Amino acid sequence: MAQELKVAARYMGPVTVLDLQGDVTMFAESELTRAYHQAIDNGAQALVLNFAGTDYINSAGIAIIISLLTEARAGAITLVICGLSAHYQKIFRMVGLTQYAEVYDSEDLAVQELKKRGIGESAPV
């Protein structure tokens, strides 16, 4: 299927940006968890989920994001979100996801913010 999710990872020191391309639905589960664990195995301390390449997210997809967030919190990994359309920013707020993951308009803003917190580039942690 053409819209099946593909996730590409970009490593920027301890920050890893995961670029999501395609639909975030139940079909995305194995690809998303694979990319997540690969990034963690490669030493990522913070993850940016970049949704700029996706224009369909549904509740099953949100459930996958929730399980990643739960796992990230348990492992003291920072997970932030960027690239959502205004509509899906609203949806994420609506279901309460924004209490647990910060949402930035752009990847630059997300990475900057992580740097401010001391994650990124030369990580002192």
Partner 1 sequence: MSNEKQVIHLHIPSELGYEKVAMGAARSVAQKMGFSNDRILDLQTAIAEACTNAIEHGNRLNAAQRVEVVLTVEEGALAVDVHDRGRDAQFAEPQIYDHNNHRGMGMYIIKQLVDEVQWSAQPHGGQVRMVIYLEPDTVVGNGSRLPEEPRL
Partner 2 sequence: MPTKRQLVELRIPSVFGYEKVAMATVTAVALRVGISGERIEDLRTAVAEACINAIEYGNGVGAEVPVVVTISTDARHLLIDVRDRALGNSKPQMGKMVDLQNPPTGPHGNMGLFLIQHLVDKVDIVCRANGTHVHMAMRLPDIVLH
Could you write out the DSSP letters of every residue in 57-97? B-HHHHHHHHHHHHHHHHTT-EEEEE---HHHHHHHHHTTG
Enter the tokens of residue 87.
């509509």
Angle between helices 29-41 and 59-74 (to 10 degrees): 20
By beta-carbon proximity to partner 1, the closer residue of 2 and 74 is 2
Name the phi and psi angles at 90, rounded to 5: -60, -45
Q: CB 3 → partner 1: shortest distance, Å?
A: 7
C-alpha closest to that of 88 among 76, 101, 71, 78 = 101
Work out whether the CA dihedral 114, 81, 2, 62 comes out positive or negative: positive
Selection from partner 1, partner 2, none that 40 binds (CB < 5 to 8 A by kind) is: none
By beta-carbon proximity to partner 1, the closer residue of 60 and 112 is 60
Name residues contacting partner 1, limited to 2-31 (CB under 8 A).
Answer: 2-3
By beta-carbon proximity to partner 1, the closer residue of 1 and 74 is 1
Q: Which of 60, 105, 117, 118 binds partner 2 (CB under 8 A)?
A: 60
Q: Which of 6, 10, 34, 87 binds partner 2 (CB under 8 A)?
A: 87
Which residues lie near partner 2 (CB under 8 A)? 1, 3, 25-27, 56, 58-60, 62-63, 66-67, 69-70, 73, 85-87, 91, 94-97, 99-100
